[in-house]
Homo-oligomer: A and B are copies of this chain.
Amino acid sequence: MKFTAQQIADALQGKVEGNAEAEVSNLSKIEEGSPGTLSFLANPKYTSYIYTTQASIVIVNEDFEAEKDIQATLIRVKDAYGSFATLLEMYQQAKGKKEGISEKAHISPSATIEEGAYIGEFVSIGDHVFVGKQAQIHPNCSIGANCKIGEESILFAGVKVYDDCLIGNECTLHAGVVIGADGFGFAPQDDNNYRKVPQIGNVIIEDRVEIGANTCIDRATLGSTIIRRGAKIDNLIQIAHNVEIGENTVIAAQTGISGSTKIGKNCMIGGQVGIIGHLNIADEVKIAAQSGIGKSLNTAGDIVEGSPAFSVRDFQRSYIHFRRFDRIVKRINDLEHKVKDQ
């Protein structure tokens, strides 16, 4: 199927600059664009490619100013990245959705599977589970008793959900995710053995949450571990028992959050961050990658870095000195020499 620049501009409420009849049938990255494809420019790091790309059409922000000639037809829009996302969505929807219940799945007679749901091969669904309309459960998933999988949520292959956990609507859980394993709770004994503290709570995941591949969210000791509406959680993340993640908070891969810590809404947490237990992190806090958080961050909008972390500005200043530490020590040597001489 082919579309002209004008057709696409109309769909995106954009303005064509160049050949309005230029045609495309596929999407491409600007640095790999080939004739007949449509690309986009949003990240300024990639600006140089717009002058050399072979893509036939490029979507740009309306305030983009070209510094050289551009061969491609441009479509100017308010938000190039958002507009490109719209096209990607259209492309993906054209692929269609899976439906139907595999005969090779195992579904408890007491489970409820609503209309339009997809249950793949070798999926095991426990007693009293509820699977909402249009939900998709891919092969080899395992859903414990009393769970709820909300409408239009997708569980990719091999997701494991322990008993009693609740997953909202329009969530995406990627392959290998584990929801509801026991929190890491052991009481030390006098003989150095540990005694397991049973974990009888659950996990609640609200609507529109996305959880990356092989991420683990432990059940609460009591009560619930909670992931609030719209949170986005990347791959290989550890979320311990009784943690709460606020609305629309974004967490990058391999971060770990210890037990009972509460994280506010609209936070941005980098990759490989560690946060100890029983802390409060205010709304809109930003934490740089690989930071270690040992104290609550009570001020909304704080930006921190380091392990242990402190203000990002102070950290970066200290780190510049750290890099030059040898020269600093030489200055002290010189001073000692001079002061001795006097």
Q: Is A212 interfacial (CB 8 A cutoff)?
A: yes
Which of A7-15, A64-72, A111-119, A248-256 lies at the interface with chain B? A248-256
Among A81, A182, A253, A328, the most chain B Cβ lie within 10 Å of the Cβ of: A253
Q: Which among B45, B138, B238, B274 is the interface contact of A235 at CB below 8 angstroms?
A: B238
Q: Which among B102, B184, B200 is the interface contact of A253 at CB below 8 angstroms?
A: B184
Given A29-B222, A271-B258, A339-B338: A235 in contact with B248 (beta carbons within 8 A):
no
Compute how far the CA of A332 lies from the CA of B332 in the bound complex, rounded to whole angstroms: 7
Do residues B200 and A88 form an inter-chain contact, with CB atoms below 8 A? yes
Compute how far the CA of A23 lies from the CA of B338 in the bound complex, rounded to whole angstroms: 72
Q: Which among B158, B162, B221, B342 is the interface contact of A160 at CB below 8 angstroms?
A: B158
Do residues A222 and B290 form an inter-chain contact, with CB atoms below 8 A? no
Compute how far the CA of A30 lies from the CA of B274 in the bound complex, rounded to whole angstroms: 26
Distance (whole angstroms) from the CB of A158 to the closest CB of chain B: 5
Do residues B193 and A230 form an inter-chain contact, with CB atoms below 8 A? yes
Q: Which among B156, B157, B197, B232 is the interface contact of A194 at CB below 8 angstroms?
A: B232
Q: Contact residue range for chain A?
A: 35 or more
Task: Mark A255-266 against chain B: 1 for CB-CB distance below 8 A, else 0.
Answer: 010100000011
Interface of A, helix, strand, loop or mixed by DSSP: loop
Closest 8 interchain pairs by CB?
A142-B157, A124-B139, A160-B175, A88-B198, A318-B325, A178-B213, A181-B213, A157-B160
Residues of A participating in the B interface, judged by any CB pair closer than 8 Å: 27-29, 32, 43, 45, 79, 81-82, 84-85, 88-89, 91-92, 102, 104, 106, 120-122, 124, 138-142, 144, 156-158, 160, 162, 172, 174-176, 178, 181-182, 184, 186-187, 192-200, 208, 210, 212-214, 216, 218, 221-223, 230, 232, 234-236, 238, 240, 242, 247-248, 250, 252-254, 256, 258, 265-266, 271-272, 274, 276, 278, 289-290, 292, 307-308, 310, 314, 317-319, 321-326, 328-329, 331-332, 335-336, 338-339, 342
Given A238-B253, A321-B326, 6 other A-B contacts at CB below 8 A? A45-B278, A121-B122, A124-B139, A192-B230, A314-B323, A318-B325
